[in-house]
Structure 1
Amino acid sequence: MRILPGLLSALFLASPAYSRCGGSFDGFVQDLKSEAAGRGHDTEAVDAFFQGVRQDAQVLKADRAQGVFQKPFIEFSRHLISQNRIDRGRAMASRHAAVFDRIEAEYGVSRGVLLAFWAFETDYGGYQGDFNTRNALVTLAHDCRRPELFRPQIFAAIELYERGGFDPQRTTGAWAGEIGMVQMLPRDILENGVDADGDGQVSLRTSAPDALVSGAKMLSGLGWQPGQPWLQEVKVPGQMDWSLSGPGRHRPVSEWQTMGVKARSGNLPGGNMPASLILPQGHEGPAFLAFPNFDVYFEWNQSFVYVLTAAYFATRLEGAAIYDAGNPQPGLSGPQMKQLQSLLQARGHDVGEIDGILGAGTRAAVQAEQARLSLAADAWPTVELLNRL
């Protein structure tokens, strides 16, 4: 499900070693072998690891076919969240209550957060992917789109192989190289794998305790604040400075309250807690306050619509009501979104790839142009904005 997978690996900076890509696939593999030997890996183990490696065209196809992320939040969230997933999530919470109690005590990660990832990544472990993990990683490292993300994972997989925790011929997972119930990349497993069931092995594919506790440890390492909230639905006033909204634009909760932002149910956290106002489909659609833990989600996945849906689903699993969808203005079609991105890019905005996805760069550019044109600067692109541009 991840659009830019990589947890800890996503934090790696590109280096000349990681930027080598393309060219002959066989030559690329020989280059990997040389680098692995240079890193101190046993040459016989390296040869065995790469024996039979092949380029997987289906991995490249999957990497380029992620149209689901073009859907707006309301449609995307309704696509992923069903009553069946909610019921199963609550059943899993009951079945593994002792594990979640341990996680909350040791790492401070609420059970709903991990249940949501478990549901979205593998449908509670039911489908973990059948791509050969080694082939997927080598294929994506050879491809020149994001070699800095995937090349380090190959050497981590070699280390797992040397430790007996990876079979290059049989280990399978998602197309982007993630393994197990909550989909962790090899380096993440090295850094955060936990033998939670005490059987002497870290088994993320077959052991729910291992997978869940490992995921919690990873989130903790990424900066999760124990016992803190991550997202809460709110009601917004009819008029306010919408340019203040957006992920990462933190203000104390008390300031948002002064501007007329209210909890839809219950109470908001203490007045000094920083929060950002999230309006996924503009000021006439759903509204949320996102707290610092929400930012940690972007280390798991860089898709805004996926992150918000996962964070919201976590609140649903812990008893929150279905969000108020409001009455947002119609959004843009895929071709219209690409046209908008091209126009924004021509005006000097960095929107990244022209892909029709309303990502962080496109949202920031939309908001800037809305403010310039005296439109409601809520980062939701409309036909009116497209026409004005």
Structure 2
Amino acid sequence: MFMRLARVVRSFTSHLPTLAVAASVSIASITSPLASTSSFVAGLWPEAQAMGVSRQAFEASFAGYSPNPKVMELTRKQPEFSQTVADYINKRVTGSQVGRGQRMRSEWAQTLAGVEERYGVQAEVVLAIWGMETNFGSFMGGNNTIYALATLTQNGYRESFFRKELLTALRIVSDGHIQPSQMTGSWAGAMGHTQFMPSSFMQYAVDYSGDGTRDIWNSIPDALASTANYLRAHGWQAGETWGYEITVPNGFNFEQAEQAGKLSLAQWQALGVGRTNGRAFPRAGDTAEFYMPAGATGPKFLMLRNFDVIKRYNNSNSYALAVGHLADRILGTGGFATPWPSGDFALNSSQRADLQRLLSRNGFDAGPVDGRIGPKTRAAIRAYQRHVGLPVDGYASGLLLTRLR
């Protein structure tokens, strides 16, 4: 979501959260001259006042403030993502996590039923996001949100974005939703049980408990309802799932499937696609997109509209698949029918370049050796796969690199 820069750093996905665009900012922007803290804070007041922030809330929020060097260190610690989708999901969707989600479902059954009735979002999906974001509230980040956002702004890191988030956070305090000392979250300003950025809080947080405040830090009902409200606002389809694990026929054209975009389930069925459990698709007119996160030998999926809605929370296929899978597991379904390829690993840029070099050396022109898997490299992979009798999926995997070596 445009709410969770911190998870970008932890997961290092190439799938950035919608709000987490700050992760792409060049390090050069961090080195801008640092204004003195007192003049920086003083310079914020006219803007804060114009946004309706009271002087009392402003002064309370900045009491004891000084830039936090650890926050700036975290902006620089953004190594390349080197984790397969299987690793990402297996780390986050565990038996322990599923069990805890089921216990939370029982503990908060009345709240979840009310939230589902009001917003039309399945309780298990809300639980899965809660579990993914903060492990059901067990770790919501230990940073003072005002201090963290002020540090990022003062140091010129994506200054326009974080300045707006900082001013919005000040307004949240001024409106009485939370005391500044209790407004804690990630180093990038994501807050509460389900990690809203301040701007998301202002737009989508709700007072489900009816106490006059929208408290996503201390009120689990408010946090869960706010998450459901966010999903509904972004197009959640009530009564529908996120997607289906599928089987494909022998000789299936994976390239064509990936390029097809959204087709109706009836059209996918005409291409030989079926559900792994053998059941019919409930609504043949629903549109879905083909997703193959681990190549032809791994699990394959048709992703529905709700999958895209989950990605509005965090623009990551891995994240959305993990949320959907965790929701299904909390509901009581089993794991994926197709196992993940054994021994596979994600390629870093050096390994991708090595793959390109080896393909070209073997007579399959992969284009420039730049570590970027583009159309030319994928075409070379497919040509190599045809040549040696492998499934032709164009997937750049660790297993493929090992074979070429």
Task: Classify the secondary structure of the residue corresponding to 2:288.
Answer: strand
Gap change, CA 1:195 and 1:170, over 3 Å in 2: closer
Gap change, CA 1:173 and 1:181, over 3 Å in 2: same
Aligned: 1:24 with 2:34 = yes
Instruction: Please point out which of 188, 192, 203 is paired with 1:191.
Output: 203
Tell me which amino acid in the other structure corresponds to 1:221.
Answer: A
Partners of 1:371 and 1:151 lie apart in 2 by 44
Tell me which amino acid in the other structure corresponds to 1:325.
Answer: P
Aligned: 1:288 with 2:293 = no
Tell me which amino acid in the other structure corresponds to 2:270.
Answer: T
Aligned: 1:334 with 2:344 = no
> Which residue matches 1:253?
265
Instruction: Please point out which of 216, 219, 237 is paired with 2:228.
Output: 216
Quote how far apart the aligned CAs of 1:329 are. Answer: 7.7
Instruction: Please point out which of 263, 267, 277 is paired with 2:280.
Output: 267
Gap change, CA 1:384 and 1:171, over 3 Å in 2: same
| Cα deviation 1:25-69 (Å, max 9, x = unaligned) | 435545433433454544564444334333222223334445695
Instruction: Please point out which of 82, 87, 103 is paired with 1:91.
Output: 103
Instruction: Please point out which of 86, 107, 110 is paired with 2:122.
Output: 110
> Which residue matches 1:203?
215
Instruction: Please point out which of 91, 102, 105 is paired with 1:79.
Output: 91
Aligned: 1:305 with 2:315 = no
Partners of 1:22 and 1:34 lie apart in 2 by 23
Tell me which amino acid in the other structure corresponds to 1:259.
Answer: L
| Cα deviation 1:113-143 (Å, max 9, x = unaligned) | 1111111211111121111111212233345
RMSD: 3.6
Q: Is the 8 A contact 1:118 1:124 kept in 2?
A: yes
- Please list, as runs of the form range in 1=range in 2, the aligned pairs for 1:1-389 lying within 5 A after superposition: 2-3=7-8, 22-26=32-36, 28-39=40-51, 41-42=53-54, 45-65=57-77, 69-142=81-154, 146-246=158-258, 249-265=261-277, 266-323=279-336, 324-327=338-341, 330-336=344-350, 339=353, 365-366=373-374, 369-371=377-379, 374=383, 376-382=392-398, 384=400
Tell me which amino acid in the other structure corresponds to 1:200.
Answer: G
Q: Is the 8 A contact 2:58 2:174 kept in 1?
A: no
Partners of 1:23 and 1:103 lie apart in 2 by 47
Quote how far apart the aligned CAs of 1:378 are. Answer: 4.7
Deviates more, 1:229-238 or 1:73-82: 229-238
| Cα deviation 1:304-352 (Å, max 9, x = unaligned) | 3222212221222223321122436834443535647999xx9799x9x
Q: Is the 8 A contact 2:127 2:327 kept in 1?
A: yes
Gap change, CA 1:228 and 1:164, over 3 Å in 2: same
Task: Classify the secondary structure of the residue corresponding to 2:245.
Answer: strand
Gap change, CA 1:69 and 1:121, over 3 Å in 2: farther
Task: Classify the secondary structure of the residue corresponding to 1:276.
Answer: strand
Gap change, CA 1:347 and 1:236, over 3 Å in 2: same
Q: Is the 8 A contact 1:366 1:381 kept in 2?
A: no
Partners of 2:225 and 2:265 lie apart in 1 by 31
Structure of higher CA gyration radius: 2
Tell me which amino acid in the other structure corresponds to 1:293.
Answer: N
Which ranges in structure 1 are unaligned for 5 or more consecutive residues? 13-18, 355-361
Partners of 1:78 and 1:325 lie apart in 2 by 12
Q: Is the 8 A contact 2:32 2:156 kept in 1?
A: yes
Partners of 1:180 and 1:118 lie apart in 2 by 10
Q: Is the 8 A contact 2:204 2:229 kept in 1?
A: yes
> Which residue matches 2:3?
none
Partners of 1:236 and 1:130 lie apart in 2 by 46
Task: Classify the secondary structure of the residue corresponding to 2:140.
Answer: coil
Partners of 1:165 and 1:242 lie apart in 2 by 51
Task: Classify the secondary structure of the residue corresponding to 2:138.
Answer: coil
Task: Classify the secondary structure of the residue corresponding to 2:239.
Answer: coil
| Cα deviation 1:280-311 (Å, max 9, x = unaligned) | 11111111111011111222112332222122
Task: Classify the secondary structure of the residue corresponding to 2:246.
Answer: strand
> Which residue matches 2:360?
none
Q: Is the 8 A contact 1:243 1:371 kept in 2?
A: no
Q: Normalization by structure 2: what TM-score?
A: 0.78
Q: Is the 8 A contact 2:247 2:274 kept in 1?
A: yes
Q: Normalization by structure 1: what TM-score?
A: 0.81
Q: Is the 8 A contact 1:331 1:380 kept in 2?
A: no
Gap change, CA 1:234 and 1:104, over 3 Å in 2: same
Quote how far apart the aligned CAs of 1:226 are. Answer: 1.8
Quote how far apart the aligned CAs of 1:9 are. Answer: 5.0
Q: Is the 8 A contact 2:189 2:197 kept in 1?
A: yes
